[in-house]
Amino acid sequence: MLTPRQYFNKYFRKDRDFVREITAISGYTPKEVFLYHLALTHSSLVRKSSEEGQSARECNERLEFLGDSVLDSVIAEYLFKIYPTKDEGFLTEMRSKIVNRKSLNEICKKLRLSNLIMHNQNGSVNRSMYGDALEAFIGAVYLDLGYKKVRKFIYRRIIDPHIQMNQVENQIISYKNKLIEYVQKKKLGILEFEVLDEVGEGPNKTFHVQSQVGDLVLGKGQGKNKKTAEQRASEDALIKLNALPEVGSNGSGKK
């Protein structure tokens, strides 16, 4: 049953079409609609017109940080229940595979959440924009409706329709190790990872890293820590080198 605010949002708000799209995606009519607008506002849209500290409040990066933690928690609980005899290492690896950037990017598109993302059409947009928006959306649902409902959303709209556990078990977890093996096998030289930039501060800091052999740049990636950025730079390199096996549509290697 809808609360008075949800009823108003669904039928009388000026942006009620947006509200209905959010309802179709999440399964719930939102209470605080501004959270969903914020979750779908990419930093490229606000950074040119705002100071760095202010732009963090006007885009989805803070909600992404929150949603990332909520998603990790829900996935951890799910794995704990369906693998009662597996150890911590297996569970950690499986969670890392499920919440990888490629998989979240694809799920965002399948949910058609990608159609609602607001970003600077003329600026460069990183490859993680869709997965970041999905995490921010999860953060918005959590703040708006609470843990029980965001948990149901993740189970019903993400895990059940889009995560095939048998495929996940067979996926590569460490793109960095895979790239090291490839470079050594092909005798390309010494593989190095260079930090190109560090953007933001504290929990909002993003590391930009490139993988390279000598002066040859193999791939680039970014993440909330150097390890994640190196994994994404390795994944990018392996894709460009056509050195990844076909592993289905879920991908791996976010964390």
pLDDT digits (tens, 9 = 90+) for 80-134: 999 999 998 789 889 988 998 889 999 999 999 999 999 887 755 677 899 999 9
pLDDT at 250: 38
**Over the stretch 171-207, which tens digit does the pLDDT of each residue have?**
766 788 889 989 998 899 999 999 999 988 877 788 9
Contacts of residue 168, defined as CB under 8 A and 6 or more positions apart, other chains included, come to 94, 97, 98, 250, 252
Q: Residue 54 phi/psi, 5° resolution?
A: -75, -40
The CATH fold of domain 175-240: Double Stranded RNA Binding Domain (3.30.160)
Q: Is the model's pLDDT at 252 over the cut of 80?
A: no
CA proximity to 176, closest of 101, 250, 232: 232
pLDDT at 73: 97
Structure tokens at 187: 């005798």
Q: Give the up-direction half-sphere exposure of residue 98: CA atoms within 13 A in the CB hemisphere.
A: 28
Please give the mean pLDDT across all residues of the chain: 88
- CA torsion sign for 150, 129, 245, 235 is negative
Distance CA 132, CA 228 (A): 14
Give ranges for CATH 3.30.160.20 in the chain: 175-240
pLDDT at 54: 57
Phi-psi category of 118—alpha, beta or left, where left has phi over 0 and alpha has psi -120 to 50?
A: beta
Task: State percent of the chain over pLDDT 70.
Answer: 90
CA proximity to 183, closest of 237, 252, 103: 237
Give ranges for CATH 1.10.1520.10 in the chain: 4-165
Distance CA 174, CA 176 (A): 5
Catalytic residues: 68, 135
| CATH superfamily, region 4-165 | Ribonuclease III domain (1.10.1520.10)
**Own/partner pairs, 77-84, CB within 8 angstroms, 24+ separation:** 77/151, 78/155, 78/159, 82/165
Yes or no: say if 166 and 94 are a contact pair by the CB < 8 Å rule: no
The CA-CA-CA angle for residues 82, 88, 94, to 5°, reads: 60
